[in-house]
Amino acid sequence: MLTALDLLNRMLSYFNIQDKAKGKAFTVVAFGANFFLLYQAIRHLRYPGFRLAGTLFLLAFFVLLYFIVLNFIYYYTDKQLKWDISPKVEKALGGNPQAMRAAEQQLARTSQTGAASGLFDEDRVLPTSVAIAPAQQENLNALVATLQAQGALTVDYQGLDERAVARVARQTKQPVMAIGGPFELPFYALQPVGADLVVMGGLNALTPMPLATVTRVGLMPVAAALADYDLAAAHVYLTGGEVMQPGRSGLIKQTTPYTLTVQLAYSPKARMATP
């Protein structure tokens, strides 16, 4: 049984397969391989001198069968059972609580502030309203796919299982995004196009694409903001995509369009002195 699982683990390690998919494969293989223990139990129980060993094989078969059934329910349904002792076993074995807490904190974070376009005084940063046209949505989806291919963005809930995602959802009382918290784009800039303010973004300054159009700056229309202030993109966060949120019988998975949260830095325009 262990040989079969080890061979499967080595084979799957050559592919970029998420942990849940691996868990499904291991569960199926373990279910079949576990019957080898039942075979050995029956063989040993037939002979008086080997019945103790046969009893131990039979006990091991039922213990592993219990956990395999739990895995089937966990990986192939959305149900969680009250008599699941897996969390207690994980706690008893130690696991990696520091890594788990760090991953949960990544999921629960509300922003990830970087310096993609400079550092600004946060007291001079305003939220905005943006509109994303169909062509811009295609650009944004393409950028997300490129970020995933480059390994800069993951959409696996930081590798956490549904139990951990459920804890984060209960703590934050908000849907949990597969990308983690809001993800700041590696490059972004603000570009005037006629009377519009277009948010450009990409992997770097050589590959910018129009991703959104600013419709309001704070409470002001764009025209009024441009008349009184110099504006620059302070932060542009990617949000949306696949999310999980608590439902009546467990987590509900939904797919939402990717969108942007844009914050602009402002500085009052210098006024020419009148004689």
Spatial distance between the Cα atoms of 74 and 170, rounded to a whole number of angstroms: 19
* Residue corresponding to tokens 């948010």: 199
Residue-wise pLDDT for 159-179, tens only, equals 777 778 888 888 878 888 988
Regarding predicted confidence, which is higher, 5 or 178? 178
Q: How confident is the model at residue 30, as a pLDDT?
A: 80
Which pTM was predicted?
A: 0.63
Name the packing angle between helices 51-76 and 86-93 (round to 10°).
110
**Mean pLDDT for the stretch of residues 235-239:** 93
Residue-wise pLDDT for 136-159, tens only, equals 999 999 999 999 998 889 888 877
**Mean pLDDT for the stretch of residues 210-217:** 95
* Residues whose CB falls within 8 Å of the CB of residue 95, separated by 6 or more in sequence, listed in order: none
Instruction: Report the range of poorest mean pLDDT among 2-11, 34-43, 109-118, 130-139.
Output: 2-11
**Mean pLDDT for the stretch of residues 113-137:** 83
Amino acid occupying residue 171? Q
**What average pLDDT does the structure give for the chain?**
79
* Residues whose CB falls within 8 Å of the CB of residue 272, separated by 6 or more in sequence, listed in order: none
Q: How confident is the model at residue 264, as a pLDDT?
A: 94
Spatial distance between the Cα atoms of 30 and 85, rounded to a whole number of angstroms: 19
Residue-wise pLDDT for 215-227, tens only, equals 999 999 999 998 8
Give 239's strand partners.
259
**Mean pLDDT for the stretch of residues 262-268:** 92
| 16 pLDDT higher than 60 | no
Which segments of the chain does DSSP mark as H helices, in order? 2-12, 19-45, 51-76, 86-93, 97-108, 134-149, 162-172, 222-228
Which range of 52-56, 101-105, 168-172 scores highest in mean pLDDT? It is 52-56
| 214 pLDDT higher than 70 | yes
Instruction: Report the range of poorest mean pLDDT among 58-62, 100-104, 121-125, 189-193.
Output: 100-104
Distances from the Cα of 30 to the Cα of 18, 22, 67, 89, 193, angstroms: 18, 12, 10, 18, 60
Amino acid occupying residue 80? Q
**Mean pLDDT for the stretch of residues 186-194:** 92
Amino acid occupying residue 166? A
Q: How many residues does the chain have?
A: 275
Give 125's strand partners.
265
